[in-house]
């Protein structure tokens, strides 16, 4: 159920102040240390950020998609590493359980996910299964009341801190593509599950990704999400929501960059006049503002459509494609407007330039979004 307007505005204002007063001042330190301070994580838990999308009956805020996107836009105004701390709990790490879990599964895990006591991860990507998510080779072989998992996953966000993984594994080796894949809830402490050291990344320092391996990991059949062979269905529905969430964050980053550009261009002088007085600078600001407004409108319209219960696979893919490509262009223009100051670390523009590059890759690369958009458009006949 949607929040009443007053409560929604109070929530957004709270997040906006937390971003401005608590997160933005420590962005450079987080990037340098490659870690979000533990006390900040505890504050995030206290604000309910780990449970934004978890139903109220399990201790979450139970936001609908539009409300989640509005919060995501505000969170995008700080370094994306902060959002990543709880992002998997809000999105891909929990939503399979929310959408497809049994009542008993939900009762066991969702309260801890909502409070932040349990950190979740979504383990789909493999060395040979990235964009081709139906090519999963991690195996889950039935053995009595258990499944035995063997294989490995790559680039898994928050795996280092996760205590529960949603794992996609092939239960039918003879089935082609995603039809032979099932989804499992896999606790971190099961014997045979190993997490590697974090990868060194281009951007988003403070947010970590890891390899995860499974060596004869025995998972109770009770932990399966949905029916056997429904894993691909679980993954795709989870990603529809996740793509909208990421799109909203892209809008927030773009809006922050535009505000930074306006402030800098209004103060910085060249040839005796503020940068903002030059038409070519104005053109870059105008292009960025127009694209950000278009992305915001598309994201929120799609979120509202999803809240009606309508299928939004096409629209979510379009939002993810446009918003992630848009914020890359905005970040590039920001570096240009700041000039040399945009290339050095002092203003944080170069950091955001690097941070936003991943948005065009994860939760479905831009090329995959185009395939989804074309496929769904052809299905609809236009």
Catalytic annotation, pick one of 21, 227, 363, 376: 363
CA angle at residue 22 from 6 to 92, to 5 degrees? Answer: 70
Cα radius of gyration rounded to whole Å, the chain: 21
Tell me, what DSSP letter sits at residue 19? Answer: I
Hey, is 178 helix, strand or coil? helix
Rounded to whole angstroms, the Cα distance separating 98 from 59 reads: 13
Is 291 a catalytic site residue? Answer: no
**Among the residues of the chain, which ranges form H helices?**
5-18, 27-33, 38-46, 65-75, 80-90, 95-100, 103-115, 231-267, 279-307, 313-338, 340-343, 349-355, 366-380
Lookup: tokens for 220: 């109770």
Phi and psi of 341, rounded to 5°? -65, -25
Give the long-range contacts of residues 22-31, CB within 8 A, separation 24 or more. 23/78, 23/79, 23/82, 24/77, 24/78, 24/79, 27/78, 27/79, 27/348, 27/351, 28/345, 28/348, 28/351, 30/79, 30/81, 30/82, 30/205, 30/206, 31/79, 31/81, 31/205, 31/206, 31/351
Q: How far is CA 179 from the centre of its chain?
A: 25
Taking each helix axis from N to C end, the angle separating 231-267 and 313-338, rounded to the nearest 10 degrees, works out to 30
Known catalytic residues? 363
């Amino acid at each position: 159920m949607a929040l009443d307007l007053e409560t929604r505005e109070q929530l957004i204002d709270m997040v906006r102040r937390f971003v401005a007063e608590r997160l933005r001042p420590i962005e450079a330190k987080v990037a340098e240390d490659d870690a979000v301070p533990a006390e900040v994580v505890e504050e995030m838990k206290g604000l309910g950020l780990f449970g934004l999308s978890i139903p109220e009956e399990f201790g979450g805020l139970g936001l609908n998609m539009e409300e989640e996107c509005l919060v995501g836009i505000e969170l995008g105004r700080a370094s994306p590493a902060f959002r990543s701390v709880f992002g998997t709990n809000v999105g891909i790490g929990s939503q399979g359980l929310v959408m497809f879990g049994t009542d008993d599964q939900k009762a066991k895990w969702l309260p801890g996910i909502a409070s932040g006591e349990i950190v979740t991860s979504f383990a789909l990507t493999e060395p040979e299964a990235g964009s081709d998510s139906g090519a999963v080779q991690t195996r889950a072989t039935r053995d009595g009341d258990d499944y035995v998992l063997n294989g490995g996953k790559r680039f898994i966000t928050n795996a280092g801190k996760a205590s529960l993984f949603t794992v996609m594994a092939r239960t039918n080796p003879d089935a082609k593509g995603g039809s032979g894949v099932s989804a499992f809830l896999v606790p971190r402490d099961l014997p045979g599950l190993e997490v590697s050291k974090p990868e060194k990344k281009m951007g988003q320092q403070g947010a970590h990704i890891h390899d995860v391996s499974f060596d004869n990991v025995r998972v109770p059949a009770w932990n399966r999400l949905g029916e056997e062979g429904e894993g691909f269905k679980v993954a795709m529905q989870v990603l529809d929501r996740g793509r909208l969430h990421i799109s909203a964050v892209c809008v927030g980053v773009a809006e922050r960059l535009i505000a930074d550009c306006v402030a800098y261009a209004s103060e910085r002088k060249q040839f005796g006049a503020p940068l903002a007085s030059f038409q070519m600078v104005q053109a870059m600001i105008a292009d960025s503002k127009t694209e950000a407004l278009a992305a915001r409108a598309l994201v929120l319209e799609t979120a509202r459509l999803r809240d009606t219960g309508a299928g939004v696979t096409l629209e979510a893919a379009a939002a993810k494609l446009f918003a992630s490509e848009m914020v890359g262009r905005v970040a590039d223009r920001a570096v240009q407007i700041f000039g040399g100051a945009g290339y050095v670390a002092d203003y944080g523009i170069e950091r955001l330039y690097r941070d936003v590059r991943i948005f065009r890759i994860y939760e479905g690369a831009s090329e995959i979004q185009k395939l989804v958009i074309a496929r769904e458009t052809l299905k609809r006949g236009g």
